[in-house]
Structure 1
């Protein structure tokens, strides 16, 4: 597996990291992890050189960290890098910080985290870090060696990013970066800020929740015409890893074919050439005109107090916009049932507050309603 060294150290990080937010599940409608299938993915990944594993307290409704701890326990601690995150959105008072961190160490069955992040920071969400002195506690943990590298994952404006990187002594930052969001969410400027400050960039959502592994027919044709034997996903991974300040590219892999294909792409990594970069940008431009809802399926909006299956509805909508398969939309929509459809939405905006993509969820659900009325 191709690796990059963290700054000027001997820590060699695999260019492909294993994201643990979308592990295989026993039931697609439930958070419980299919541990046998997930362990097989971890074993295959580790055997093929992946040594960076990224989890979080709230992934799989708090089941990801305990599974990751069990799955990696069989391997020597000095042969993998483990990342997890402080869920500031769950901190109500200062004592919560240490309680959560200790629980995370217990969940993951480790004495320290190699990389630790303030989770899902936006323009507004850092306030709790000030109010509850979270940074004071995390900086102490770093000084004590329980955090080797401290950073944050970011979903906000370049102005806020600039403010944050100058405010504390960070070791790295995690950005949503892909060939669509390079312009759509100004990931270009965010990446440039990190580069200017000498902060390594860890990439999340290189395939935008899987949508760039599918694309619309016209965008897909641009890439397949050039490399018919390469997966669409491979283009997205290579795009992110081509940037020299990227340390690792996280992929939330949930099936063996995904793991195998991604490893095939990255184990002998080759940066995109200028002509390949032009093709990717062309495919991205076509994709942005499909007018999909920019949902990545992270499920931070869930559970909806009214029972609406928000990510499921957006997935049905986006799949129709990309492929225009009426039967798939109608069958999937009916299968959800009235109790999970957008008609139950009360526009409480709880979901919008938690969305890393800043989607106005009630407004986006109106698009689902309009499509359903058109097709049903």
Structure 2
């Protein structure tokens, strides 16, 4: 495992962090045995950063992580979780949720505590609730060690938040398709120059960059002198950049853990040649031409009040375009429950208020319904 300095702190963390948002499932629930096995395997082989959050797996992720970190594993890692700031209505709620998370995680302290999914509106709300008084108090009494934030909004809002406090770290969405989206490359460099550690989430764009590529993309990858999988290309592109402290991968099986760890071992700053970087730019351009909706299937929009399966509809819409697979995708669309179809959208707009990608969901659902009907 390769290790990188964590911003201005005096320690290093593994280049690969274990994201606990996409555990394997069994009978609709987290497959506990397999998930614990995956986490412990990663730790045994050098991963020392474990990332979870209050809402992951419908509130069950933190409970699973607590089980995985028993038997001495807690002491081997930096543990990260996130404050569900959208639930905070008064100052005392910050402490309420932190204490609940400490209990769920069965630990006396959380190493890295993030204000979760900040955007401009949430940021204004948190300032009005004196969030920094809470942060200072929780650091002083030892319940958290370092404070940071994860982010989904524009670059100006990002810079404002970075400049507002002496943060230890931040977490941004970043991959070769999202280089100029939200905080993006500019935000990455800005935060790093200010001394913040920068953690990367969605390195595979919600798994989209891990799928078997369409023929035109595969032909581009095949021109490379060194053959790699789409996942390896995507991760190495991120690790190629010196401002990145670590990247998080939400792994769903042991094979993904092993593959990502092997890729991390081969990674490094400036490890890609100029020709390889140019190739990734060509792939990016072609993908942009084919993608209909920049959805990462994070499911923040779910459940829909009327039952529309928003991520599923967008997945079918994109697959039909990217893979020239309209016939099969239309068939799968027709097999959805009526209430789950894009055509059932009543345009209430609730989904758009919580979408971290700021997708015009109502408009895109109309287009998906028309294309897939």
| TM-score, structure 1 normalization | 0.94
Match of 2:180 in 1: 183
Match of 1:221 in 2: 219
Query: Residues 205-233 of structure 1, C-alpha deviation per residue, up to 9 Å, x if partnerless?
Result: 11100111124332232223316742101
Match of 2:265 in 1: 267
1:245 maps to 2:243: yes
Query: Residues 296-346 of structure 1, C-alpha deviation per residue, up to 9 Å, x if partnerless?
Result: 111111111111111111111112221122343134213321121122211
**Counterpart secondary structure, 1:181:** coil
Asked whether the equivalents of residues 54 and 84 of structure 1 are also in contact (C-alpha less than 8 Å), the reply is yes
Match of 2:170 in 1: 173
For the residues of structure 2 that align with 1:196 and 1:8, how far apart are their CA atoms? 10
Change over 3 Å in CA distance of 1:75–1:320 after alignment to 2? farther
For the residues of structure 2 that align with 1:126 and 1:186, how far apart are their CA atoms? 15
For the residues of structure 2 that align with 1:246 and 1:217, how far apart are their CA atoms? 31
Match of 1:141 among 119, 138, 142: 138
Match of 2:206 in 1: 209
Query: Residues 58-96 of structure 1, C-alpha deviation per residue, up to 9 Å, x if partnerless?
Result: 111101111111111223433111110011111122222
Aligned positions of 1:229-240 closer than 5 A: 229-240=227-238
Match of 2:64 in 1: 67
The range that moved more, 334-343 or 15-24, is 334-343
1:132 maps to 2:136: no
1:116 maps to 2:113: yes
Match of 2:299 in 1: 299
**Counterpart secondary structure, 1:221:** helix
Asked whether the equivalents of residues 6 and 12 of structure 2 are also in contact (C-alpha less than 8 Å), the reply is yes
For the residues of structure 1 that align with 2:8 and 2:196, how far apart are their CA atoms? 12
Shift of 1:10: 4.6
Gaps of 5+ in 2: none
**Counterpart secondary structure, 1:358:** coil
For the residues of structure 2 that align with 1:144 and 1:244, how far apart are their CA atoms? 34
Change over 3 Å in CA distance of 1:347–1:145 after alignment to 2? same
For the residues of structure 1 that align with 2:136 and 2:223, how far apart are their CA atoms? 50
**Counterpart secondary structure, 1:182:** coil
Match of 1:364 in 2: 364
Gaps of 5+ in 1: none
Asked whether the equivalents of residues 79 and 112 of structure 2 are also in contact (C-alpha less than 8 Å), the reply is yes
Shift of 1:286: 1.1
For the residues of structure 2 that align with 1:222 and 1:191, how far apart are their CA atoms? 28
Match of 1:55 in 2: 52
The range that moved more, 298-307 or 134-143, is 134-143
Asked whether the equivalents of residues 43 and 76 of structure 2 are also in contact (C-alpha less than 8 Å), the reply is no
Number of residue pairs the alignment of both structures matches: 370
For the residues of structure 2 that align with 1:10 and 1:133, how far apart are their CA atoms? 29
For the residues of structure 2 that align with 1:159 and 1:372, how far apart are their CA atoms? 37
Match of 2:285 in 1: 285
**Counterpart secondary structure, 1:4:** strand
Asked whether the equivalents of residues 73 and 109 of structure 1 are also in contact (C-alpha less than 8 Å), the reply is no
Query: Residues 264-317 of structure 1, C-alpha deviation per residue, up to 9 Å, x if partnerless?
Result: 101232432222111111111111111321111111111111111111111111
For the residues of structure 2 that align with 1:130 and 1:23, how far apart are their CA atoms? 34
| TM-score, structure 2 normalization | 0.94
Asked whether the equivalents of residues 234 and 265 of structure 1 are also in contact (C-alpha less than 8 Å), the reply is yes
Asked whether the equivalents of residues 216 and 287 of structure 1 are also in contact (C-alpha less than 8 Å), the reply is no
1:314 maps to 2:314: yes
Asked whether the equivalents of residues 155 and 182 of structure 2 are also in contact (C-alpha less than 8 Å), the reply is no
Change over 3 Å in CA distance of 1:129–1:21 after alignment to 2? same
For the residues of structure 2 that align with 1:79 and 1:249, how far apart are their CA atoms? 18
Asked whether the equivalents of residues 20 and 53 of structure 1 are also in contact (C-alpha less than 8 Å), the reply is yes
Shift of 1:186: 5.7
For the residues of structure 2 that align with 1:284 and 1:136, how far apart are their CA atoms? 43
For the residues of structure 1 that align with 2:134 and 2:182, how far apart are their CA atoms? 31
The range that moved more, 320-329 or 106-115, is 320-329
The range that moved more, 352-361 or 269-278, is 269-278
- Give the RMSD, CA atoms, in angstroms: 1.7
Match of 1:338 in 2: 338
